[in-house]
Structure 1
């Protein structure tokens, strides 16, 4: 039987910010929370997939902007923009979850379906 746990969903969204504190963990912790709770918490499966797709997309976009630093000089601006997006949207979506609203992560590639 599944239970409703918006607090855990909020924590899962905010756990992405571990990248800014520890340098890693923004992908690992949400993955663990999703895998451990996707069967027992309502909407955890959908939220977990959205978070992981967003984090993997951010990783891909960051890796793609590294050559832009060398060749075009635009890579630094691109990385700054990626960092802002990766910081703001987990917070926005955590607030949305706590208010019972739908989440949205822009620029997410649908890697995990």
Structure 2
């Protein structure tokens, strides 16, 4: 994108100085603008930016088919276009931050369940008795709430992305932050 802008500026300077004609300028300009539009739409699989961001968000639900699909597909969609499109980069970072936060919260919930079962000497069956009540509330209840929140957050993020809005998932830890470029660092 940046190269096309620089090339257009050079073409404008050449036209202004009389080095090229108006026809040559328009021809080169249409080639530059045509190639950037073509490459961007090819990278987005023919989708517009909002639909592609929607796809990144909603692909997390593939984790209900197989947990690796819910991780791999959003990562692939994000890495394909994060360099070319800052909006896709932001949405991809938000989605990955939520995926890794969700995995961490699930791990904590599972850690809470297993030691509690060992500590209380409870049988590892899911039949209901009063002895298993502490285990239900310490692990299974938060995991159930977390699963429901996961679905709700993904749907909200997908709907916001389809309208062109960026929505940060609540409760997500910022594992992937936007890197600070040397040009944007404060000067001493």
TM-score under structure 1 length normalisation: 0.90
- Which of these two proteins has the greater Rg computed from alpha carbons? 2
Q: How far is 1:35 from its partner?
A: 0.6
Is residue 67 of structure 2 the alignment partner of residue 67 of structure 1?
no
Task: Provide structure 2 residue ranges, at least 5 long, that are not aligned to the other structure.
Answer: 2-35, 41-47, 117-133, 178-188
Structure 1 runs (4+) deviating above 4 angstroms are none
Corresponding pairs, count: 113
Measure, in 2, the Cα distance between the counterparts of 1:69 and 1:57: 19
Aligned to 1:82: 146
TM-score under structure 2 length normalisation: 0.56
Task: Provide structure 1 residue ranges, at least 5 long, that are not aligned to the other structure.
Answer: none
Q: How far is 1:84 from its partner?
A: 0.8
Which of the numbers 2, 9, 24 marks the counterpart of 2:68?
Answer: 24
Aligned to 1:105: 169
Structure showing greater relative contact order (alpha-carbon pairs closer than 8 Å, 6 or more residues apart): 1
Contact 1:5 1:42 in 2 (8 A): no
Contact 1:52 1:112 in 2 (8 A): yes
Measure, in 1, the Cα distance between the counterparts of 2:87 and 2:165: 12
Measure, in 2, the Cα distance between the counterparts of 1:42 and 1:78: 35
* RMSD across aligned positions (CA): 1.7
